[in-house]
Each structure stands twice: as C-alpha cells, then as structure tokens.
Amino acid sequence: MEKIAISKFKATCLAVLERVRKTRKPVLVTRRGEPIAEVVPPPPSGAPKKFVGSMAGTGPIVGDIVSPVVEESEWEALR
C-alpha cells in the first residue's frame, strides 16, 4: 500500500483521488509517520437492482398458491 504524508496529500489531493480511482489501490495518509486515514476506491458500481422480482427464489412455495384457502361453501358472499 502506498503511503503519503498529509502535507503532500493536501497539495495533490485531487490527483491522488483520481489515481486511487483508476488503479483501485488504496493510499495510506500519514502524519509524522503515523497513519491517520486510508483512501480506498469505491465499490464497483453496477446497475441498481430492480424492485420487481428482487425476492424471487428466497422462499419455498408450499401447496397450491392459486386455489382459495377455504372451501367455496364457507364463503359468505356465495350464501
């Protein structure tokens, strides 16, 4: 991991950030040799997941999911 003094980081901040973005290698910022911050690249950005279908395959289907739960004779509307 590359180390850079805080004074040099302050002077070349934008260039360091761009280098980290392009190379995907983190940079350790130090003050008097002691680490104070680590500049890491962001996670790869992918297309946002769509809401519809996002839960597909996460739960088991047990039984018939189309038929009514109770018998038609128990429906109050049919009496």
Domains defined for the chain, CATH in brackets = 1-43 (3.40.1620)
State residue 43's pLDDT score: 84
State residue 47's pLDDT score: 67
Contact 42, 18 (CB under 8 A): no
Q: How confident is the model at residue 79 (pLDDT cuts 50, 70, 90)?
A: low
Q: Phi/psi of residue 37, each to 5°?
A: -160, 155
Question: DSSP letters of 1-70?
Answer: -EEEEHHHHHHTHHHHHHHHHHH---EEEEETTEEEEEE-PPPPP-PPPPSTTTTTTSS---S-SSS-SS
